Amino acid sequence: METKFERLEEFLETLKGDTYPEVPSEPHTSITREMVNRIANLSGLPARAKVLDVGCGQGTALDCFERRGYQAVGVTLGREDVAACRAKGFWVLEMDQSFLQFPDKEFDLVWCRHCLEHSIFPYFTLAGFTRVLKPGGWLYIEVPAPDTACHHETNRNHYSVLGKSMWIDLLIRTGCEMVDTLDIRFTVPAGPDTYWAFLCRTRRP
């Protein structure tokens, strides 16, 4: 009889066709640079801080982290993105955000910009993020808001476009303390759009 884990693995396999390359584009590039600067100013991360970029795309944030002297590693399921990042000299692994293959308490910062909405179980995924963070480590989450002119909830590989209060509660449940939240508002050809950004710290023991 098929186990529940085998059924989960089969289901995840069916979703691989929903993955697409994340080519750098606006406003994503500008927002990324702004948010990296914001985090650096608020967190006071050390010069050689260890950073994990979850859903790294083709390396926009990795470039910002390396310019600051951080030790950054990226993970993504997109093979084209892996190849593009490695061609630029970045350390990137093909890995599922929900099953991170890193030791506990490995990173000073986990950065996850526009990737968590692709998780079929974000509570579980967030628990994995906090597991690999050092006590007092930093977590940056940015997700699209539902029900804007862009209708992110209808994107073929957006499985978790939740309300803002739900995201905050999930972050708290997984051991985070909210440090800063930001509504990023702008207009695209389809109309007004909004992203929600959450900067958190893991609780110290």
Q: Is residue 13 part of a domain?
A: no
Report whether 127 contacts 117 (CB < 8 A). Answer: no
Q: Is residue 182 part of a domain?
A: yes
Q: Which domain holds residue 112?
A: 25-202
**Number of folded domains in the chain?**
1
CA distances for 44 relative to 74, 113, 142, 165, angstroms? 21, 20, 20, 27
Report whether 108 contacts 125 (CB < 8 A). Answer: no
Q: Is residue 10 part of a domain?
A: no
Report whether 58 contacts 21 (CB < 8 A). Answer: yes
Q: Is residue 19 part of a domain?
A: no
User: Phi and psi for 190 in degrees, rounded to 5?
Assistant: -75, -20
Task: Tell me what pLDDT residue 2 has.
Answer: 82
Q: Is residue 98 part of a domain?
A: yes
Task: Tell me what pLDDT residue 204 has.
Answer: 79
Residue 170 belongs to a domain with what CATH number? Answer: 3.40.50.150
Q: Is residue 60 part of a domain?
A: yes
Q: What is the pLDDT along the chain (205 residues), one digit of tens a residue?
A: 789 999 999 999 999 889 989 999 999 999 999 999 999 999 999 989 999 999 999 999 999 999 999 999 999 999 999 999 999 999 999 999 999 999 999 999 999 999 999 999 999 999 999 999 999 999 999 999 999 999 999 999 999 999 999 999 999 999 999 999 999 999 999 999 999 999 999 987 7
Q: Is residue 6 part of a domain?
A: no
Task: Tell me what pLDDT residue 108 has.
Answer: 98
Closest CA to 38 of 138, 172, 107, 145: 138
Dist CA 167 CA 160 (whole Å):
10
pTM beyond 0.95: the answer is yes
Q: Is residue 1 part of a domain?
A: no
Dist CA 151 CA 59 (whole Å):
26
